[in-house]
Structure 1
Amino acid sequence: MKDIIIVGGGYVGLSVAVAVKKAAPHLDITLMEAAPEHVWEKDERASAIIAAAINMLKTLELWDEIREHAQPINDMIVTDSKSGEPVKPVFLTFADRSETSGPFAYMIPNVAMVRALRRAAEALGITIRHNAAVTALSNDGAQATITLAGGETVSTRLVVACDGVRSRLRDMAGIRTVKFDYGQSGIVTTVAHERPHNGRAEEHFLPAGPFAILPLTGNRSSLVWTERTDDAKRLVESDDMIFEFELERRFGHHLGKLTLAGGRRAFPLGLTLARAFIAPRLALAGDAAHGIHPISGQGLNLGFKDVAALAETIVDADRMGLDIGAIDTLERYQRWRRFDTVRMGATTDVLNRLFSNDIGPLRLARDVGLGIVDRMPGLKRYFIEEAAGRTMHDKPKLLAGETL
């Protein structure tokens, strides 16, 4: 019988495996991945990783491999305008000038992050199985048993579901969710530009949704472009000339000529919150527990917070001789993560509803609000610290840069 089976081979599943195995090398951990072996290498996306999550990557001894691909975000501007306006008025600016704490976030290509995690997992002796889709889950109280597509069964003390926002494990366990479809899709692509971005991120609030420009290494930026679902589908399927024309209308010309430097894909946007993060012998982590709007750039970082809390829960229980899969053990993890997740989900929901429209009175109110915040250095500093994860209450050790 395995000690832990992790279902899902993305950054969350791999991080849980590496964090637990480094602290408790005697535990037998297997990671089940439904996809073929090299699919992850085709992911062209990049993600904003907050300072607290960087602490975890450093503690897990992954940062030295990742940092050459990482672009620090030095400051950020927020605008509110219409798509075709040549000049976008800036209502709010953020700058993280602290010489001691470092940047509040880095942009990191997903491939670079997953590659480092996979190498660490293999070096630690973690078994990674590909083409291993889980078709059934059962639990007899003392152990959980998963059934794979080929009919093979595997028993374990604990299953960790990291299988995404449409988690099959979550459904098999009978965990219900709160769901809302925003009728929006996020177009993700990479562009090259003539002028340097100097580490500046931009968030342009447009009537259809936020248009985020996030700096990458070199003269490149990652885009997360929110549009109504039908418009997003039309744009992704259009030829390059039409796509680049619409892109320029929103991006502007402040960084010079733009060139597409990657493929383009659209992802449906909605709010999904699991009503429980645990069940007997099962814990949800990452998007299996929560899917939120990318307006705050916190979705992936919520997953890293799950990793840090769950790994510490498992390792502490193991050291005390407790059952790592018992419901009372897992309750600690649920208490740790549930409030923060619901709070972030509610925040992104309100922000998206407030800014994804062109209603005159709402637009005036939000612009006045942004202007007031911009004139309050103490409040802006708090928002930066909050976004970086530095103010998190009862912070797990890994997020504070401490070993388990």
Structure 2
Amino acid sequence: MQSVASWPFYGNTRRAGLETVEMGCAAPKLRHICAMTFSHDIAIIGAGPVGGALACALAAQGKKVLLVDRAALPPMEHPDFDGRAYAIAAGSRRLLDMAGLWEALPFAPCPIEKIDVTDGKVGRPASKLQLHFDSGDVGDGAFGWIIEARSLRVAINQRLHEAPGVTLRAPAEATVSRDAHGVRITVGAEVFTAGLVVAADGRGSQLRGQAGIVVTRLNYGQSAVVCAIAHEKPHKGVALEHFLPGGPFAQLPMTGTLAHPHLSAIVFTDRHETVKRLAAMDDARFLPEVRKRLGEHLGEVTLAGRRWTYPLSAMYAARYYDTRLALIGDAAHGIHPIAGQGLNLGLLDAIALVELLAGAADCGAPELLAAYQAARRPANMLMLVATDALDRLFSTNNPLLRLARDAGLAAVERMPRLKRRFMLTAMGR
């Protein structure tokens, strides 16, 4: 007998209910798919940034793609500036180029030319033992770019509607059945077939749950406050990562607007109770908390857009594939945002899939899926371990650890080869 799961699919990380039904002898047999011609090469569940960009890239490659998401796409665009942004590393930008998304961005990305890494305490000057990265030391390009979240969403939506190889169903609910011969996806009264289904449905992935793939989770006891600030002085393309006892504080350069010529995204990371207190503050009380962590190098600051809060955790799936199923992005892994690499790992997953599928006779072949896992899981696990270690090392007020990490920053600053390796990693190379 075959197993079928039916549930609503999400393009975000919310968890939905899972219903598993055993098909009896009178039910249609999934093995009949082997006699069919697949209506699509690949089905993707979840039209978030990773799933949506993957669909566009595969369509540009000539693949026929079915994309399903429970949410309607236009509301995801958030037409008003809301302060949320993505850090896109130079290496993962390649997927946006492949998908035709980079040139479709309606708001110009802001290049990150330099990164300052500092350590200290809230309300006090940063330690003099610091680390400075300059992209000019490893080539002509930027470390990456800060892109408004709404900008990437608008570009994805536009491409999805233009791409001739994409069948889009959103908002919609889907039922997915898999066996060695193929995948059947039922959306309302429509039935589609595919050679592979990609789970891009977030940390609470129901496709992953259906496959029985075990997930390990790490709880940091931290939350993040995300917002944008307008400031008096230009940022000059410099990003700041300031380590504090409660968690890192990041300032990320953004492209200015007519209303706010100088803009930056801000990410507070701190203990749940501190973030809860910060989120409850009005603007007049919140801005001094920003200045305590940011310092005075950008002059006077005001809020631009609204504030958002997110609990922080990490997770990793025991494996990235099952029968004709591949996990991608947050369905496969999630890391601490300390290095701003979460979305980039998902985009690199997508690049690996696109390249493996380019000349594949069977998109869901076991050896192809094994090659995908071999290409991505070790690299993602290494980044998870690194970000976990960084947070545990820097999010403490232990004086011995503070002395050791300051000395470590100063040592890396004086070691060109190691420093270059860090810079290339930040660029996704």
- What corresponds to 1:297 in structure 2? 340
Mapping of residues 164-183 of structure 1, within 5 Å:
164-183=202-221
Tell me how far apart the structure 2 counterparts of residues 87 and 336 of structure 1 sit (CA, whole Å): 39
Moved more, 108-117 or 195-204: 108-117
- What corresponds to 1:359 in structure 2? 398
Q: CA deviation at 1:186?
A: 1.4
Contact 1:160–1:283 (8 Å) recurs in 2: yes
Match of 1:33, as an amino acid? Answer: D
Mapping of residues 4-403 of structure 1, within 5 Å:
4-24=42-62, 27-42=63-78, 44-66=83-105, 69-87=108-126, 89=128, 91-97=130-136, 100-125=139-164, 126-134=166-174, 136-147=175-186, 154-218=192-256, 219-317=262-360, 322-390=361-429
Change (3 A) 1:90 1:189: farther
Match of 2:72, as an amino acid? Answer: P
Match of 1:247, as an amino acid? Answer: V
Match of 2:77, as an amino acid? Answer: E
SS of the residue 2:136 aligns to: coil
Q: CA deviation at 1:44?
A: 4.1
Change (3 A) 1:100 1:253: closer
Corresponding pairs, count: 382
Q: CA deviation at 1:269?
A: 0.9
Tell me how far apart the structure 1 counterparts of residues 309 and 420 of structure 2 sit (CA, whole Å): 33
Give the number of the structure whose alpha-carbon radius of gyration is greater.
2
- What corresponds to 1:398 in structure 2? none
TM-score normalised according to structure 1 size? 0.89
Contact 1:81–1:89 (8 Å) recurs in 2: no
Contact 1:177–1:274 (8 Å) recurs in 2: yes
Tell me how far apart the structure 1 counterparts of residues 301 and 214 of structure 2 sit (CA, whole Å): 44
Q: CA deviation at 1:284?
A: 0.7
Tell me how far apart the structure 2 counterparts of residues 273 and 117 of structure 1 sit (CA, whole Å): 27
Q: Which structure 1 residue ranges, 5 or more long, are not aligned? A: 391-404
Tell me how far apart the structure 2 counterparts of residues 57 and 137 of structure 1 sit (CA, whole Å): 28
Tell me how far apart the structure 1 counterparts of residues 138 and 274 of structure 2 sit (CA, whole Å): 43
Contact 2:73–2:157 (8 Å) recurs in 1: no
Per-residue CA distance 1:148-188 (angstroms, 9 max, x = gap): 5x686544321111111221221122111111111111111
Tell me how far apart the structure 2 counterparts of residues 328 and 292 of structure 1 sit (CA, whole Å): 27
Q: CA deviation at 1:114?
A: 2.4
Tell me how far apart the structure 2 counterparts of residues 366 and 88 of structure 1 sit (CA, whole Å): 11
Moved more, 2-11 or 361-370: 2-11
Tell me how far apart the structure 2 counterparts of residues 348 and 80 of structure 1 sit (CA, whole Å): 16
SS of the residue 2:363 aligns to: coil
Change (3 A) 1:239 1:3: same
Tell me how far apart the structure 1 counterparts of residues 274 and 302 of structure 2 sit (CA, whole Å): 21
Change (3 A) 1:85 1:352: same
Contact 2:107–2:151 (8 Å) recurs in 1: no
Change (3 A) 1:133 1:208: farther
Identical aligned residues as a percent: 43
Tell me how far apart the structure 1 counterparts of residues 349 and 171 of structure 2 sit (CA, whole Å): 25
TM-score normalised according to structure 2 size? 0.84
Q: CA deviation at 1:294?
A: 0.7
Contact 1:73–1:107 (8 Å) recurs in 2: yes
RMSD over aligned Cα atoms: 1.9
Contact 1:78–1:90 (8 Å) recurs in 2: no
